[in-house]
Structure 1
Amino acid sequence: MLVELAIGDAYGGAFEHAYPSFVAEHNNLTGYVPHHGQPGAPAGRYTDDTQMTIAIAEALVSGLRWTPLLLAEQFVRAYHRDPHDGYAPRFHQLLSEVRDGEELLRRLRPQSDKSGAAMRAGPIGILPAVDDVLYHAKLQARITHDTPAGIAAAQAAALAVHYCHHRLGPLSEIAKWIEGILPEDVGHGGWALPWSGKVGPQGWMSVRAALTVLTGGGGLARMLHSAVALTGDVDTVATIALAAASRSPEVAQDLPPVLWRDLENGEFGRDHLARLDERLLHI
């Protein structure tokens, strides 16, 4: 799961908020392209979506009881040991300045409804019970996105993985299942409403777009291409969609080998993700 979502993030990051003409020309899955909007960032490098997901996954496999302080420490540690781009400018600056989780919690103003809590929530879906998924997704969301929409988006993203991992039904019904658990209105018309067009910055937009990609069926390659073709915040859409799809027995695991080969593989790159994945899937 972690390697697949990182591939989606790294591939999608090159197209985040890019011109539709750029997306149409280069979205062909033949390899990574340099990140649009991040001059000098090497192709195949993942963004904050994956880095914060790693922090969540490491918190899960630690076996420690989750608290806001534990998670804040994870976020700070993950960033400082291997700084990555892609964070919202203010949060990026804050992470760069703080030295521990206590300072991060003290300085944060967590009133965002954007996608940061949703993009990192996938590993939580591995947990065995829906109530556990909802609780942990909400707890981590409240650190940075303590709004009804920010929390609901994180819970929906985690539930998507839960549905696929625990084989709760056909992929075509995933959005309707989530809507049955999260019926509260956060202003977007419902999780099962198909998404079309450019994906904006709010978390519910990325999640609903990802659910539309998932219910469209096909293999991981088709889903990655479809997510990026939407334009907008496509790395987050791809991260959320591939995290869930990688755990579905219905989905062909057909990402091109070049995307596996060329995903960054430093100390916390592809091999680290694979090892962490192995631990995560056995908690």
Structure 2
Amino acid sequence: MILEAAIGDAYGAGFEFRKMEFILKNNNLTQYHKHGLYTEIYKRYTDDTQMAIAISELLLEEENWNEIKVANKFVEVFHRDKRRGYSDRVYNSLDASKNGSDFIKIINNGSNGNGSAMRAYAIGHLKNIEQLLSFCEIQAITSHNTKEGISCAKRVALAVHFFKYNLENQSTLTDFINDTLKEKENYRITSPIDMHGYPTTQAVIKIVSEASSMSDCLKKSIDYGGDTDTVAALCMAILSQKKGSEQTLPNFLYEELENDTYGKNFLIKLDVALNNKFRF
């Protein structure tokens, strides 16, 4: 799951907020492209995956969560492997923090952005829905203490849960999310896909609901433009759990993905650890 998300993140980063002409010309799943602003983001994942790693490690380490534990993990993971992709608001807050308490004091957590959703997918491993929703909310409020920030994190985790635990014979994904969250959302895509929580998760849920191929899904998630790395990462994470979908991606996406200390092999080990802890 995290490996696939990192691939979507790294591939999608090359198209983030680029002109549609560039996307239509180059989004053919044949090579990674450099980020339009940060050239060091090339064949490397961004903040999306780094924050998801923090959440994943916390799932493996802690049975009981609170805001300080989550913030501590965000700060720890950031400082051991600083990388770009974060908004200035979050990057500067993490950079100035020595621990979670610092981060909570510094950060303006009134954002409606998609940051709380982009990192929430591993929480979908939890079988208990009440715990899943609670953990989503706890991690969201550290940086996105808004209705949009909280509910959109829940949508992403619920999508993973839905496919992981084979609920497709009981409901549709959109009905499952709406019923669980007591919402009446009609999921749709508005292109280019905005970096706020609602348009991002609206698009992601719509895309993965209809997807039957991981390669096709990756291309499609980029073709809409906008916040392509986040949309692609979330689509890949969720679709990795969808039974019956074609799971193959072009080999270069695996072979050329970064593989230093926190690169490909690290992500694979993290996925294995999560799957071992949260068996079906």
When the two structures are superposed, what TM-score results if normalisation uses the length of structure 2?
Answer: 0.95
1:210-262 Cα offsets, whole Å, 9 max, x none, are 11111222211111101000100111111111111101112111111110111
Q: Secondary structure of the residue that 1:21 maps to in structure 2? A: helix
**Matching residue of 1:81:** 80
Equivalent pairs counted in the alignment come to: 277
Aligned to 2:45: 46
Query: How far 1:193 moved relative to its partner?
Result: 2.4
Percent sequence identity over aligned pairs: 34
Deviation at 1:108?
Answer: 1.8
Following TM superposition, the consecutive aligned residue runs of length 4 or more in structure 1 with deviations greater than 4 angstroms are none
Q: Aligned partners of 1:78, 1:176: CA distance in 2, in Å? A: 35
Indicate the residue corresponding to 2:234 in structure 1.
240
Structure 2: distance between partners of 1:171 and 1:226? 27
Partner of 2:271: helix, strand, or coil? helix
- Residues 148 and 198 of structure 2 are in contact (CA less than 8 Å); yes or no, is this contact kept in structure 1? yes
SS of aligned partner of 1:243 = helix
Q: Deviations over 1:24-67 (max 9, x none)?
A: 111011121111222x2242110000000000000001134211
**Counterpart for residue 243 of structure 2:** 249
Corresponding residue to 2:187 among 186, 193, 213? 193
- Structure 1 residues 174-183 or 109-118, which shifts more? 174-183
Cross-structure match for 2:32: 32
For the residues of structure 1 that align with 2:272 and 2:82, how far apart are their CA atoms?
24
| Aligned-CA RMSD value | 1.5
Matched, 1:220 2:214: yes
* CA separation of 1:97 and 1:209: change in aligned 2, threshold 3 A: same
Tell me how far apart the structure 2 counterparts of residues 236 and 170 of structure 1 sit (CA, whole Å): 29
Partner secondary structure for residue 276 of structure 2: coil
Normalising by structure 1, report the TM-score: 0.94
What residue in structure 2 maps to residue 203 of structure 1? 197
* Structure 2 residue identity aligned to 1:199: I
Question: Over residues 67-108 of structure 1, what are the superposed CA-to-partner deviations in whole Å (9 max), with x where a residue is unaligned?
Answer: 111111110011110011110012111111111111111112
Once the two structures are TM-superposed, the CA of residue 148 in structure 1 deviates from its matched residue by 0.5
* Partner residue in 2 for 1:164: 163
The residue that corresponds to 1:155 in the other structure is: 154
Which letter maps to 1:31? Q
- TM-superposed deviation, 1:196: 3.5
Q: Which residue is equivalent to 1:5?
A: 5
2:273 paired residue number? 279
Q: C-alpha separation between the residues in 2 aligned to 1:282 and 1:104?
A: 31
Q: Is the 8 A contact 1:171 1:250 kept in 2?
A: no
Counterparts of 2:85 and 2:202, CA distance in 1:
21
The 3 A distance-change label for structure 1 pair 105 and 86 is same
Contact 1:164–1:171 under 8 Å retained in 2 = no
Equivalent AA in structure 2 for residue 86 of structure 1 = G
Distance 2:18 2:114 in 1: 18
Equivalent position of 1:130 in the other structure: 129
Matched, 1:94 2:88: no
Assess if the C-alpha contact under 8 Å between 1:13 and 1:47 holds in 2: yes
Deviation at 1:118, TM superposition (A): 0.1
User: In structure 2, what is the equivalent of residue 176 of structure 1?
Assistant: 175
Partner residue in 1 for 2:116: 117
Picking from 260, 263, 269, the partner of 2:263 is 269
Map residues 58-73 of structure 1 onto 2, 5 A cutoff. 58-73=57-72
Change (3 A) 1:234 1:94: same
Question: Could you tell me whether the CA contact under 8 Å between 2:41 and 2:84 is conserved in 1?
Answer: no
Alpha-carbon contact 1:53-1:121 (below 8 Å) kept: yes
Is the contact made by 1:156 and 1:178 (CA closer than 8 Å) also made in structure 2? yes
Q: Which runs of 5+ in 2 are unaligned?
A: none
Deviations 1:159-196 (A, max 9, x none): 010001111116992122211212347xxxx1x42214
Give me the whole-angstrom Cα distance separating, in 1, the residues matched to 2:105 and 2:17.
32
> What is the letter of the counterpart of residue 165 of structure 2?
H
